[in-house]
Structure 1
Amino acid sequence: MAAHAPPGREENDRKKRGKSSGKVADFRYKRPERSDKKERAKAKSSPASTAKRQSGKSSRGKNPPNTSPKWSNSRQAYAALDLGTNNCRLLIARPSGEHFTVIDAFSRVVKLGEGLAANGRLSDAAMERTLGALKVCAEKLRRRRVHLARSVATEACRRAENGPEFIARVREETGIALDIISAEEEARLAVLGCHILLDEGAGPAVIFDIGGGSTELVLIEPGGPVPRILDWMSVPFGVVSLTDSVRAPDGTADGRAARYAEMRRMVSDSFAPFARRIAPIGKQSERIRLLGTSGTVTTLASLHLELPHYDRKAVDGLIVPSEAMRAISEKLATMSRGERQLLPCIGDDRADLVVAGCAILESILDIWPAPKLGVADRGIREGILRGLIAADAMGEQHKADLQRSRVEA
């Protein structure tokens, strides 16, 4: 298992308690930082590493100088771990042409942010659940002999008073080095992971990620293989944090309607600065586009398709009428928990949280009224993998260039 030191540690150690937003001009891949010195020394002294160095010495200079392939690590395994407020997700993949092929995956609802809105701390029960999931991830990383990995934690660990302590405990008990990323980095990775699913066209687009503890909205400039972020915003309302912030309904239809209206008001107020900034762009454009990555949009898309059970192949990349998604949201908001629980693709885990997701989605449709909504069952993990693979390939190419220079000299 390989891990590298958290980039931008000073920025990541800040507690992000309020809204974040800003203009971003740079959207380039960033090369991951290397592991700490102790890990490098340990790896260097291992028997496998010693044998590899000796083998390398005996064959050095025998290969033609210009035969190094672009993807020299095409059989290496790379991993991305995303620890969110509600879920712990892992992807392990190998490069395949310009893309990658997933060879292992893991996902578990851990509810790390449960009670965080009220107490400002991660609870003991939530941390134990999460550690159990991370130990499974650590075993997968070892078994798959992962070449390079990046593990990130988002809003729950950003906001929690004891977030850094939990990160240290995870490192000690599992060996996984979690990087508490900023809201800006979270938005960047989400866009990198799913932008290829945008509806075709030249109009401006908003990509959003409804998480457990926060929601990121990103305005991108169309064109080019990797989009440029023009503006973005992150608000501390996700499906978990918003659910915890509004009093539970009294069991009546009127009570459910009042609670949903309060959720809509809170989210709309939070989005207001971003809405004002992007409004002129939306009005000036003949066609605008919208893409969402989250459990909310994939669940609603499943209901739209009337799937008996969740099918990623049917949902990932689907383009649906925005009004259809709004109608489903409004219907779910009026139903009781028991009624939602019986619906396919919702079940017990999402019966409570999906209402908050609907409120957030409708507020997004208010400020960016694209006629169609793209659905992505991909995001931060895929963004991490693309960044790791591309950066590693660039590093390998640089080494090959240096070696050629020495041979030619």
Structure 2
Amino acid sequence: MPLTATKNFPLIAAIDLGSNSFHMVLAKTHEREIRILDRIGEKVQLAAGLNEALDLEEEAIERGLECLRRFAQLITDLPKGAVRIVGTSTLRIAHNRQHFIDRAKEILGHDIDVISGREEARLIYLGISHTLASIDDKRLALDIGGGSTELIIGQHFESQYRGSLQMGCVSYSQRFFKDLIISPARYAQAYTAARLELMEIEQTLKRIGWKEAVGASGTIKSIAQACFAAGFGQGEINQPGIAYLKQQLLKLKHIDQVDFPGVKPERASIFPAGLAIVEAIFDALNLDQVQAADGALREGVLYDLLGRHQHEDVRERSINALMQRSHVDVEQALRVENKALEVLQQLAEPWQLTDDWHKEMLSWAARVHEVGLDIAHYHYHKHGAYLVEHSDLAGFSRQEQQRIALLVRGHRRNIPLQLFNQCGNDSHALLYLCVILRLAILLYRIRGSQEVPELRLQATEDALEILFPACWLEENPLTAADFHKEAQWLTRINFKLSLGEYFC
């Protein structure tokens, strides 16, 4: 069941912070449908601002922030939850991404999620599938971005295989055409590099199979339009069109000479790299043609956002699947979850834990806190944290998985304060959630056989007093010992836990 009540936002927006371009889509919602009201896209080339140390240079950061200042006007009045902003390949690898994210959040007023390559692939397929007629057979979908390329096989609205490769039109332009010189040797290098990347997944894709191939993104559309303008096909990319464009491209000596009908001037500089990647994909997968689709990542983000609020949050399915794979004791997990949420309700105001994400993180962490037991009991909280952070959990951003993993890591024994302190403005909230989770787990150490009493809680910023019914702790000495030991663990993070009694 969804953690929060159904929400009906009349307007929702999605922003895609891509490696080549930033895009925003504003839409009106009606029941389970969306109607696009506005689209904005600007070429930012964030990936071109990555230096050798994988830090974003200030010039690229400023280009991105200037773009977002313009985007901000359209979403300034939208409430939290009505806007989702996702960062992709460049923000995944940039060491100083948090510096950019903090400044961007200040401008936009909404959180920014950095998503994994596989999550990007899932959302791309969701966006594509909502703009195409439904078929019963499998589809291959591909999207060539500025820093990564996603290849997905799916059926209807569900992706069955999601692959993300580190090759993109901007990163390959920087790598193989940095000085703007075009030559057969440089094109061949780009093509070979793409073929080597594809070797990682091409056999898997062929084994699964597909009926038709579709593509999204500016690179796909640009090459499709160039093929059509040259007289090849009806708007799709095909083998003869690729061969012709390659032949014409290699007659040129410099990027500034790229001027193909159908190719926008702002895409000319990344056209050679994009064509090399497309040719490599066609050859690796024995494709005859790829149809260009209108939907892409940002549309997928919109539909995923709509699902979270109105009918299905894919994150719930991901958590349940992880629990099943890890043979979690579901009854115990739900007992801990219910008690943790009950405690949160009492402490939400004094500890300022009133945002939706506080409840979500606590709930999910409670359900998966024992996944590490599937590996070993020794240090199972550490095993569990690793599984949560590094599993392919559809619907979750990297930050969300890291938050849940941190709660799992800290649910027993020593709390890794230094890791919590790395969470910036959210560190205090996450520490409070960790304390709540630990208390709920202690109450159910005796699995299912012990009736847990009603607790009365009195909290300050760095202290919590728990009042048990009179004589209950005396009658339950193991639990009393656990809580006294817990008080010692919490002193290590300068937090005071005290116990008392109340009379019914």
Q: TM-score band, normalised by the shorter chain?
A: 0.5 to 0.7
Pairing partner for 2:282 from 361, 365, 370: 365
Paired with 2:68 and 2:3, the residues of 1 have a C-alpha distance of: 21
Q: How does 1:180-259 map onto structure 2 within 5 Å?
A: 180-196=114-130, 202-220=136-154, 222=155, 225-229=156-160, 231-248=161-178, 256-259=183-186
Alignment partner of 2:48: what SS? Answer: coil
Alpha-carbon deviation of 1:105?
2.0
Structure 1 unaligned runs (5+)?
Answer: 1-29, 35-70, 308-314, 397-409
Paired with 2:3 and 2:115, the residues of 1 have a C-alpha distance of: 13
Alpha-carbon deviation of 1:119?
3.8
8 Å contact from structure 1 (residues 198, 291) kept in 2 = no
Q: Deviations over 1:69-96 (max 9, x none)?
A: xx983x7000000001111110010125
More deviation in 78-87 or 241-250? 241-250
Question: Equivalent residue for 2:220?
Answer: 297
Of the two, which has the highest radius of gyration? 2
Question: Equivalent residue for 2:270?
Answer: 353
Pairing partner for 1:394 from 311, 318, 338: 311
Change (3 A) 1:395 1:356: closer
Q: Deviations over 1:132-185 (max 9, x none)?
A: 111111111025678611000111111111012211121224323211111111
Alpha-carbon deviation of 1:33?
8.4
Matched, 1:339 2:257: yes
Alpha-carbon deviation of 1:369?
2.3
8 Å contact from structure 2 (residues 23, 40) kept in 1 = yes
Amino acid aligned to 1:174: L
Change (3 A) 1:250 1:111: closer
Paired with 2:138 and 2:158, the residues of 1 have a C-alpha distance of: 11
Alpha-carbon deviation of 1:242?
0.9
Q: How does 1:265-284 map onto structure 2 within 5 Å?
A: 265-282=192-209
Pairing partner for 2:58 from 107, 124, 127: 124
Change (3 A) 1:327 1:33: farther
Alignment partner of 2:151: what SS? Answer: strand
8 Å contact from structure 2 (residues 256, 269) kept in 1 = no
Change (3 A) 1:376 1:272: same
Alpha-carbon deviation of 1:250?
8.3
**Root mean square deviation of aligned Cα:** 3.1
Paired with 1:109 and 1:305, the residues of 2 have a C-alpha distance of: 24
Alpha-carbon deviation of 1:194?
0.3
Alignment partner of 2:52: what SS? Answer: helix
Alpha-carbon deviation of 1:301?
1.8
Q: Deviations over 1:262-299 (max 9, x none)?
A: 001001101102012223344xxxx7321111111111
Amino acid aligned to 1:264: Y
8 Å contact from structure 2 (residues 86, 114) kept in 1 = yes
Alpha-carbon deviation of 1:323?
1.7
Q: How does 1:13-162 map onto structure 2 within 5 Å?
A: 73=8, 76-96=10-30, 98-116=32-50, 118-142=52-76, 148-162=82-96
8 Å contact from structure 1 (residues 264, 360) kept in 2 = yes
Amino acid aligned to 1:92: L
8 Å contact from structure 1 (residues 117, 241) kept in 2 = no
Change (3 A) 1:299 1:161: same
Alignment partner of 1:113: what SS? Answer: helix
Paired with 1:268 and 1:177, the residues of 2 have a C-alpha distance of: 36
Amino acid aligned to 1:273: E
Amino acid aligned to 1:388: L
Question: Equivalent residue for 1:323?
Answer: 239
Amino acid aligned to 1:246: F
Amino acid aligned to 2:229: E
8 Å contact from structure 2 (residues 139, 211) kept in 1 = yes
Paired with 2:189 and 2:60, the residues of 1 have a C-alpha distance of: 27
8 Å contact from structure 1 (residues 257, 333) kept in 2 = no
Paired with 2:189 and 2:11, the residues of 1 have a C-alpha distance of: 46
Question: Equivalent residue for 2:229?
Answer: 306
Query: So what's the TM-score if we normalise by structure 1?
Result: 0.68
8 Å contact from structure 1 (residues 332, 355) kept in 2 = no
Question: Equivalent residue for 2:301?
Answer: 384
Amino acid aligned to 1:159: I
Alpha-carbon deviation of 1:199?
7.7
Paired with 1:235 and 1:263, the residues of 2 have a C-alpha distance of: 14
Amino acid aligned to 2:95: E
Q: Highest relative contact order (Cα 8 Å, sep 6+), 1 or 2?
A: 1
Change (3 A) 1:31 1:108: farther
Alignment partner of 2:84: what SS? Answer: strand
Query: So what's the TM-score if we normalise by structure 2?
Result: 0.56
Change (3 A) 1:395 1:175: same
